[in-house]
Amino acid sequence: MNNKYSIIQKSQLEGAHRLDAEYFQPEYLSIERDLNSIETKQIGEITNSVVNFGAYSLCNYIKWANEGVPYLNVENIKEGYVDYEGVKLIDKKVNEILKKSKVKEGQVILTMAGTIGNAAVARNVPRDINSNQATAKITLKSGWSPYYITAFLNSHYGKKQTEREIVSSVQPNIFLGQIKKFKVPAISLGDQKRIEEIFIQGLVMLEKSKSLYSQAENILLEELGLKEFKGINALAYIVKHSEVRSAHRIDADYFQPKYEIIVSKMIAEHNAEKVKDIEYIKVTTGQYCEEYVAKEDGKPYIRGTDLSMGTVKEDDLYYIDPKRQDEARKAKEGDVVVTRVGSIGVSARLPKAVEGGTISDNLIRMRFPEAKLDSYYVGLYFNTIGSQLMIRESRGSVQARLNQETLKEIVLPILPKSTQQKIADMVRRSHEARKKAKELLEEAKRKVEEMIEVAAKK
C-alpha cells in the first residue's frame, strides 16, 4: 500500500485559509509549483466581470415554456461546448427579469455545482440566452482568447485548481471568489491564437456532426414518405368505445389520428412489422447499479443521460466493478438501446468504445444480426418516428415508463438494405465527425499542458 503525504509549512496553512488535508494533496501542490514557476495571471486580473447571477431568489418567476429563451443548466455545459439537447426554455418576460444572468457571445462559462469544472465558450449563441446560478459567466479583457482560457480550464492544470477549491456543506460547489484567484499562464497572443485555431476546428467538426445527423433524419423521413407530414394534433376526434377497451387506455393523446396515419402508412408501403413479430430481434432490459468505481478500475455503465445524437457520449460515463456485471446485460457494439423512463424515446447505437460495459436498467436493448438490419438505421429510426410511437405507448401518471412488452408493439419499417446503408452512411459520418471534434478539443487541452510543462522545466 502506497501512502501519500505532504509536509506543509505553517505559513502555507495561514495563506491558504484551509486546514483540511485534502487541500494539500501532493498532486495539488505539484500543480501549484508548476504554475508558480511560470508567469501567470489570476482570472480576476484578466476579466471585466465574473458573474453567476441566477434564480435562487427569483424561483417564483421560473416557469418552463414550450417556446422562448434557452435557459442553460450545468448539464448543458460540456468540456468546450454548449449542448442544447434537452435545454429548457423560459418566457421572454422571465428572461428580462433575469437579465443579469444572460449569456453573451464570447463569454467563458464554467460550471460551479453538479459536474463542477466544465468550461465552454459561448460561441454562435442565440441573441437571447440565459443560464442558472450554478454557471459562472466570465467576460475577458482584450488580449485574452476565450478559447485558450476554456482549453486551460478544461486541462489538467485547470481542472485540478477547480477540484482543489471545491467545498462541500450540503452540495459540493465552488464560488466566484475562488474562480477569480485561479492562475492562468500568461502566454503570448500568438500562442493563444494557435490554441484557438485547434479549438475552433473542433467546434466546427461538432457542428458538422449535427448537420450530418440532421441530413440522415431527413433522408429517413423522405424514404418513409413522412417528410411533409406535420403530425399536427387534431383538436377533436371520435374514438369508438371498442377501441378504448382494446387499448386499455383512456388518455386522449393516445388516440390522436396522426399515430394511426403513420403506422398504417409504414405497414402498407414499407413492410413495417411489430418488433415482437421480427423473430431475430432480441429485447432485454439493463442492470440496476448504484455503486460506481473509478474509470481505470471499471467498465462503462451506460445510462439514458449518456445518449445523444444516436450514440453514447463518453464524457460523463459512470463505471462499475467488473465483478458486479451481469453477463446478460453486457453491451456489444451494434446494440440499439432506447430510454424507458423519464425522457422516453431517446435511442442510440452502442459504439465499440463501450463494448463490454453494462446497460443500465433505464434502458431497453435490441440486439439483432447486422446482416438482417443495419444498426445505424435502426438507431436513427427509433430516435425519430419510433420515438413518437414509444412516447405514445408509454404509461405513468407521475413518471412516464416504457417496458419491454410495450416496446415490442412498436412497428419497425424494413427498408431495402441499400436504403438502410445510405442512411447508415450519413449517421456513421456524423459519429466520425463527433469523434474528430472530441480529438481536436483534447488536442487543444494537450497543447496547453505541453506549454506549461516545457516552461516549468526551464
pLDDT tens column, 136-172: 999 999 999 999 999 999 999 999 999 999 887 678 8
Q: What is the model's pLDDT at position 171?
A: 82
Q: What is the model's pLDDT at position 169?
A: 65
One domain, residues 154 and 267: no
Q: Does residue 195 form part of some domain?
A: no
Long-range CB contacts (within 8 A, 24+) of 10-16: none
Q: What is the pLDDT of residues 10-67, one digit of tens each?
A: 455 555 565 565 777 888 889 999 999 999 999 999 998 887 765 544 555 577 888 8
Q: Does residue 435 form part of some domain?
A: no
- Which tops the pLDDT comparison, 443 or 18? 443
Select from 365, 208, 169, 377 the least CA-distant residue to 282.
365
Q: Does residue 208 form part of some domain?
A: no
What DSSP designation does 79 have? S
Which of 186, 201, 236 is a domain's end point? 186
pLDDT band at 254 (very low <50, low <70, confident <90, very high): low
CA dist., res. 421 & res. 405, Å (int): 28
Return the CATH number at 69. Answer: 3.90.220.20
Q: What is the pLDDT of residues 379-423, one digit of tens each?
A: 999 999 999 899 888 876 556 788 899 999 999 999 999 999 999
CA dist., res. 425 & res. 137, Å (int): 39
Q: Minimum mean pLDDT among 41-50, 165-174, 184-193, 300-309: which range?
A: 165-174
Q: State whether residue 295 is helix, strand or coil.
A: helix
Select from 120, 129, 207 the least CA-distant residue to 158.
120
One domain, residues 272 and 364: yes
Kindly give, in sequence order, each residue whose CB lies less than 8 Å from that of residue 63, ignoring residues fewer than 6 positions away.
90, 91, 94
Q: What is the model's pLDDT at position 9?
A: 56
Q: What is the model's pLDDT at position 193?
A: 97
Kindly give, in sequence order, each residue whose CB lies less than 8 Å from that of residue 35, ignoring residues fewer than 6 positions away.
157, 183, 185, 452
Q: What is the model's pLDDT at position 33?
A: 92
Detail the DSSP E strand segments found in 171-232: 172-173, 183-185
Q: Minimum mean pLDDT among 59-63, 183-187, 304-308: which range?
A: 59-63
Kindly give, in sequence order, each residue whose CB lies less than 8 Å from that of residue 126, ignoring residues fewer than 6 positions away.
69, 70
One domain, residues 372 and 293: yes
One domain, residues 271 and 401: yes
**Which runs of consecutive H residues, i.e. helices, occur in 225-346?**
241-247, 257-270
Q: What is the model's pLDDT at position 397?
A: 56
Q: State whether residue 286 is helix, strand or coil.
A: coil
One domain, residues 367 and 418: yes
Q: What is the model's pLDDT at position 384?
A: 92
One domain, residues 272 and 129: no
Q: Does residue 292 form part of some domain?
A: yes
Neighbouring-strand partners of residue 283: 366
Cell of 386: 419510433
Please give the model's pTM, rounded to 2 decimal places: 0.84
Q: What percent of the chain has pLDDT over 70?
A: 86
**Residue 233: pLDDT over 80:** no
Q: What is the model's pLDDT at position 236?
A: 41
CA dist., res. 94 & res. 71, Å (int): 10
- Which tops the pLDDT comparison, 232 or 423? 423
**Residue 377: pLDDT over 60:** yes
Number of domains in the chain: 2
Q: What is the pLDDT of residues 336-363, one digit of tens each?
A: 999 998 888 899 999 999 999 999 999 9
**Residue 250: pLDDT over 50:** yes
Q: Does residue 199 form part of some domain?
A: no
One domain, residues 77 and 220: no
One domain, residues 233 and 157: no
- Which tops the pLDDT comparison, 297 or 239? 297
Q: What is the model's pLDDT at position 26?
A: 85
One domain, residues 58 and 140: yes
**Residue 237: pLDDT over 50:** no
283 burial (CB, 10 Å; 0-12 / 13-18 / 19+) is: middle
CA dist., res. 81 & res. 154, Å (int): 11
Q: Left (φ > 0), alpha (ψ -120 to 50) or beta: where does 231 sit? A: left
Which of 138, 171, 186 is a domain's end point? 186
Q: Left (φ > 0), alpha (ψ -120 to 50) or beta: where does 227 sit? A: alpha
Q: Does residue 98 form part of some domain?
A: yes
**Residue 283: pLDDT over 60:** yes
Mean pLDDT of the chain: 87
Q: Are 338 and 382 in contact (CB under 8 A)?
A: yes
Q: What is the model's pLDDT at position 186?
A: 96
β-strand 358-359 against 299-302: which pairing, if any? Answer: parallel
**Look-up of cell digits 454548449:** 82
Q: Does residue 207 form part of some domain?
A: no
Could you list the residue range(s) of the whole structural domain that residue 134 is in? 37-186
One domain, residues 268 and 370: yes
**Look-up of cell digits 508558480:** 36
One domain, residues 171 and 61: yes
Q: Does residue 14 form part of some domain?
A: no
Summarize the confidence of residues 222-238 as an average pLDDT.
64
One domain, residues 136 and 221: no
- Which tops the pLDDT comparison, 278 or 171? 278
